[in-house]
Amino acid sequence: MISLLNAIKSSAATIAATLVMTALVMSPGSEILAADYKLTGENTTIGFVGTKKEGSHAGGFKQVSGTFSAPDDLTKGKITVTIVMDSVWSDDEKLTGHLKAPDFFEVKRYPEAKFVSTAIAKTAEGYTVTGDLTLHGKTNSITFPAQIKSTGSGVELTSKFNLPRSQWGITYGAGKIDENVQMSLAVKAK
């Protein structure tokens, strides 16, 4: 009888410890289940296509850094990305130089752009990511659609959306160069 009581006490203690650990893991704001993935220019691609009546130019940024905190529930995730604006490239060397100048990114005055997510929501097609984009000295909230998935060993995100450049004071060539810049994002972080 005494050994049965000791076994019950031992089992009760094990169950209580398991419940406490489960409560800690499942509690709101808990980071225990989150995996923080480092974002770099090697696993994160930020591209763009600018268009005008005569055609288009593609480009992107070579140097990015940040983190993607991805818990089991991706809607509780957080994305932070910093872009080195002087790392901009395009399909035309002369244009690349012009993009760094005051007409566009003004990289000497604004050496970095930054995105910090404020919400990730599940949709029928995937997710929407909302956050604050600081570019060219101005901060505006943006929302874009994304496909996000945890792969077991990492996280992947892809997205395509339009960004209205004048909201960040980039108005050079208005009427000749289209207002919306087509953005593309691809993350494969492990």
pLDDT tens digit sequence for 2-61: 544 444 444 444 444 433 333 333 434 434 456 899 999 999 999 999 999 999 999 999
Confidence of residue 135 (pLDDT cuts 50, 70, 90): very high
**Are 40 and 70 in a shared domain?**
yes
**Are 61 and 2 in a shared domain?**
no
**Are 17 and 54 in a shared domain?**
no
**pLDDT computed for residue 128 by the predictor:** 98
**Are 24 and 118 in a shared domain?**
no
Strands across the sheet containing 44-52: 35-40, 64-70, 78-84, 112-122, 127-135, 138-150, 155-164, 180-189, 44-52, 55-61, 88-90
**Are 141 and 171 in a shared domain?**
yes
Q: Both tokens of residue 141?
A: 């909230």
pTM listed for this prediction: 0.81
- Domain containing residue 9: 1-30
- DSSP E strand stretches across 3-137: 35-40, 44-52, 55-61, 64-70, 78-84, 88-90, 112-122, 127-135
**Are 22 and 47 in a shared domain?**
no
**Are 53 and 76 in a shared domain?**
yes
Confidence of residue 71 (pLDDT cuts 50, 70, 90): very high
Cross-strand bridge partners of residue 140? 133
**Are 165 and 132 in a shared domain?**
yes
If one counts the domains in the chain, the total is 2
Among 142, 120, 41, 43, which Cα is nearest to 83's? Answer: 41
- % of the chain surpassing 70 pLDDT: 82
CATH number where 89 lies? 2.40.128.110
**Are 153 and 128 in a shared domain?**
yes
As a whole number, mean pLDDT of residues 133-156 equals 95
Phi, then psi, of 74 in degrees rounded to 5 = -60, -20
Summary mean pLDDT of the chain: 87
Q: How many Å apart are CA 190 and CA 188, to the nearest integer?
A: 7
